[in-house]
Structure 1
Amino acid sequence: MLTLGIVLLVEDTTGSFGAAGTVSATAGVAMALCAPRAGRLADRFGQRAVLLPGIALHAVSVALLTSLALSGAPLWALLVTAVPAGASVPQVGPMVRARWAHLLRDRPGTLPTAAALESVTDELTFVLGPVLATALCTGVHPAAGLAAEGVLTVVGGLLFAARRRTQPPVQRRARVTADSGGAGGAAGTGTDGGPHASALSVPGVRVLIVAFLGVGAVFGGMQVSLAAYTEHIGQPDLNGVLYGIFAAGNMLAGLGYGALTWRSSPRRRLLVSYGLLVLATAPLWAVDSVVPLAVLGLLAGAGIGPSLITGFTLVERLTPPTVRTEAFTWLTGAVALGQAGAATAAGQLVDGFGTNAGFAVPPLVTALALVIVAVLRGRLVPAAPDTPVVKGPVPSRPSRPGPVRDGREDSGQDSGRGTRRG
C-alpha cells in the first residue's frame, strides 16, 4: 500500500506518472538499502528493539510526506521525505520467517510448508491492499490510501512487537563453522565452509537477490502500468481490481505449491517458475483490452508465488541463524529495489511513449535475471547437507566423486514429510 499510495497521491497532485513513479521509487530504494541493516540489528539486539523506533519514525514520515504532497510542495521535498518513509518500513515479513525457522529448527521438513503459508499470507495483502488503496484514493480522498497504510503499519507493527514468545533469541556473531549443528548450520557457511560476517557474503544469497530484483520489477512495472492503463480507458477504479487479480494468481499458486510434496530440487523449481513469469509478462505490452490483461496478470502472479517461496526456502538453508533475519531482509529489500527501479522506468516510458510502454519493463528485467540465475545456479546448493548419521567433523565436500544430481539434492529435507537422506 505504501508504494501504490504514493503513486496515486503524487500523480493526483502533480499530474505526472513520471514524478509519481520517481517518488515511489525513492521510498523503495530507501527500504531496500536499509532493510538489511535493520535485519542485522534485529539479529543482534532482538526484533522488538528494532521494531518500536522504526514504527514511530515511519508514522511521522508518512504523515509528513502526505502533508507535503497535498500542499503542492516541490518534487525535491517529496523525494527527501520519501527516504525516511521507505527506510523505516518495519521488516515484519523477514522477521516472521526468521521466527518460523527458529520454531521449526528441529523439524526442517516442515519449513517449506511454513514458507508457503507465510508467502500466501503476504500475497493476501497484495490482493487486498491495492484494492483498498485504490478505493480509498478514488472514492474518499487522494491521500486516504497512504494514510491507511500508515495506520495499519503502526497498529500491526505494535501488535507484532508485543508477541515476545515467538521471537528468536539474540544471535551472537562468534564463529559459525560447518560443524556448528542445527538446521541450516552446515549449509549456512556457503560454499567454502568458513564463517561469514554478513549474509551477503554467502554466494547463493547474492544469486537469489538477482532473482528477487526481477520479481520486484514485475510488481513495480505492473503497479504503474495498470494505473496508467485504467486511467487511459477512463476506469481508474479498475486499477485495484486488475492488480488484485494479478496478486490472486500469486496467492493461489502459493497455496498449491505449499500443499504439494516436491521431489525436484528447489533450484530447479525456481528456474521453472521464473521461466513461467517471463513468458506470462512478455505479451503484456501488446494487450489492448481488460480481459486479456487480467488473464496475463493472473498467469504472471502464478509465476511469482512459487519463485518467492522457493527463494525463501533456499536462503534458509544457505545461511546460519546468526544472519538469517538479515538474509531474509536482503531478499525483501531486493524486491523493493526492483520495484522502485521498475516504477521509475515504467513511469518515464508511460509519459514518453504511451500507456502500454510501461508493460515492457517486467519481461525485460525478468528475462535478464533468469539468464543470470541459470548461469549461477550451482551456487544455490548448500555446502554440506545436515546428515545426523555422520560421526566426527562434517566434510565440506561429498565423500564420493561425481556431481550431485540436481533432482535429488536435499530431496529429503524438501519434502513435507520431514525425512532426510544421507
Structure 2
Amino acid sequence: MASTVSDRPGYGQLLRTPGAWTFLVPGFAARQPFAMLTISIVLLVQHTTGSYGSAGAVAAVSGVSMALFGPQSGRLADRFGQRAVLLPGVLVHAVSVGTLTALALAGAPLWALFLAAVPTGASIPQIGPMVRARWAELLGAAPGRKASPLLGTAAAFESVTDEFTFVLGPVIATALCTGVHPAAGLVAEGVLTLAGGVVFAARRATQPTPRRTSASAAPHRSALSVPGVRVLAVAFLGIGSVFGGMQVSLTAFAEEAGHPGMNGLLYGVFAAGNMLAGIACGAIAWKSGPRRRLIAGYVALTLTASGLWAVGSIPLLAGLGLLVGLCIAPALISGYTLVDALVPGSARTEAFTWLTGAVALGQAAAVTVAGQLADAHGASTGFLVPLAGTALALVTLLSLRSRLVPPHRDGAVARGIGHREPVTVD
C-alpha cells in the first residue's frame, strides 16, 4: 500500500495512513497484557508463597520462555503470515495462564509453577513486533517507491504506545490483584490477550505479505545472522533489566515503606516518563543519526539508574524513576529505527521480535536477581540490577558500534531511516 506524504510528517498524518486504525486499536488491546503479565505473576505467587524470590523466579521462567520462543514465532509470521501464527498462539496462552493461576491458588510446588510458566511465556503473542512490521509494510521502501519520512514517526509512535501500555498495565494489574483478588490480574491478562489477539488477527488487509521460501530459492536467513541485530539484542537486555528490576524493587520498596498499594503508581510514573520522552522523540527533527542517539540514550540511562539504590523515600524514588523512564524511550526508538535499515523486509517481524525477546530475557533475569536481593538485603539493593544491566549494555554498544552501520541496500532506505525529515506533532 502507498501513503501520501506531505512536507510536514507528524503524528496526525501518520494516523491518517490508510488502514492504520484497523490494526492499531485491536493491537493496543492485545499488547496491553504484555505489561500486566510479569507483575501479575509476581503479585500472585508472592501472595501464595510469601517470597519475592520465588515470585521473581516464576516470572523469570515465563520471560525466558518468551525470549526463546518469541523470535521463532516472528520468523513463522514472516513466512506464513501473522494470522496463521497468532490465532493458535493466543488460544494456547489463555489456557496456559488459566493453568498457572489454578496451580498457584492450589498451593502447588514451585516446580509445578515453573512448568506452567514455560508455555505461558512461550505463547505470549508478539503484537508489538507485528504492528511494527505492518507500519514498515505500509511506509517502507519497495520497488519503485522510497521509504516514507513517516517511518521514523511510526517508530516513535510505537514506543509511545508500548510505554502507554506500561503505564496502564502495572496499575491495572496491581489494582486488580490488591483490590479484587490476587489472581484477578492474571485472569484479566488472559482474557485481554485472547480477545484482542483474535480481533487483531482478523485484520488481514494490512498484514505483511508472507514471504515463503520456495524449493529453488535461497534459504531464509535468520535476522540474527545480521551482526547489528545481535548487538542491539544484547543492548536491549539492559533495557529489560531496567523494566524487571524496577517492577520487583518498586513493589518491595513500597511494601517495606508500609504503602504496598503505591507500587503500581510508582511504576506508572516511571513508565509515564518513558511515554513522554517517546512523544518528544517523534516530534524532534534530529540532526544526529539513530546510532549516536542510541549510545547517548544508554549513557543517560546508566547515569540516572546509578542513583536508584541510594533513594530512601517514595517521593524521591518517584522523581528519579521518572528521570530513568525519560531516558529509555530514546534508546528504544533508536534501536527499532536501526532495525528497519539493518535487515531486509523478509525478516522484519523476526528482527523486531528478537529485540522484544531480549527485553523480556533481561527483564526475566532482573526479576530473579532483584527478587533475591530484596529478600536477602532489603528493597533498595534490588535497584543495583538496572544499574548493572545498563552499564554492561553501554559497554557493549561502545565496543561494537561499528556493526550498527546499515548496509546501503537502497539509498532511499538509508535516507528515510538515518536522516529523518523534521517531524511535528499535529
**Which of the five TM-score ranges fits, normalised by the shorter chain?**
0.7 to 0.9
Structure 1 equivalent of residue 252 of structure 2: 228
Retained in 2: the 8 A contact 1:264–1:411?
no
2:232 maps to what in 1?
208
**Corresponding position of 1:104:** 139
1:150 alignment partner, one of 167, 190, 193: 190
Counterpart-to-counterpart distance in 1, 2:385 and 2:295: 20
**Cα deviations across residues 159-202 of structure 1 (Å, max 9, x unaligned)?**
11111110000013479x9xxxxxxxxxxxxxxxx997110010
Q: How does 1:269-418 map to 2 (within 5 A)?
A: 269-384=293-408, 386-387=410-411, 410=414, 413-417=417-421
| Residue in structure 2 matching 1:131, options 142, 162, 171 | 171
> Which of 335-344 and 194-203 deviates more?
194-203
- In 2: Cα distance, 1:159 partner to 1:410 partner: 34
Q: 1:26-175 alignment to 2 at 5 Å?
A: 26-105=61-140, 106=145, 107-173=147-213
Kindly state the Cα deviation for residue 47 of structure 1 after the two structures are TM-superposed.
0.3
Which whole-Å CA distance do the structure 2 matches of 1:250 and 1:260 have between them?
16
Taking the aligned partners of 1:33 and 1:328, their CA distance within structure 2 comes to 14
Larger Rg: 1
Question: CA separation in 1, counterparts of 2:220 and 2:78?
Answer: 14
Query: What does the per-residue CA deviation read over 1:355-397, in whole Å, with 9 as the maximum and x for residues that have no partner?
Result: 2110100001110110111110011011225236xxxxxxxxx
What TM-score do you get using the length of structure 2 for normalisation? 0.87
Deviation, 1:417, is 2.9
- Compute the displacement of 1:416 (Å): 4.0
Measure how far apart 1:256 and its partner are: 0.1
Match of 1:89, SS state, is coil
The number of equivalent residue pairs is: 382
Q: Any idea what SS the aligned residue of 2:406 has?
A: coil
CA contact (8 A) 1:261 1:415 kept: no
More helix by share: 2
State percent identity of aligned pairs. Answer: 65
| Contact 1:6/1:146 (8 A) holds in 2 | yes
What letter matches 1:265 in structure 2? G
Are residue 242 (structure 1) and residue 255 (structure 2) matched? no
Structure 2: gaps of 5 or more residues: 1-35
Q: 1:233 to 1:418 in 2, by over 3 A?
A: closer
Does structure 1 retain, via aligned residues, the 8 Å contact 2:233–2:354? yes
2:309–2:381: 8 Å Cα contact kept in structure 1? yes
- CA distance in 2 between counterparts of 1:202 and 1:196 reads 13
Alpha-carbon separation, structure 2, partners of 1:9 and 1:143: 6
1:290-310 per-position Cα deviation (integer Å, ceiling 9, x unaligned): 111011111111111111111
Deviation at 1:410, TM superposition (A): 4.6
How many angstroms apart in 1 are the aligned matches of 2:322 and 2:226? 34
Q: What residue identity is the alignment partner of 1:161?
A: A
| Structure 2 residue 289 is matched with structure 1 residue 265 | yes
Assess if the C-alpha contact under 8 Å between 1:127 and 1:247 holds in 2: yes
Match of 2:8 in 1: none
Question: Unpaired segments of 5 or more residues in structure 1?
Answer: 178-193, 389-408
Per the TM alignment, residue 110 of structure 1 is displaced from its structure 2 partner at its CA by 1.6
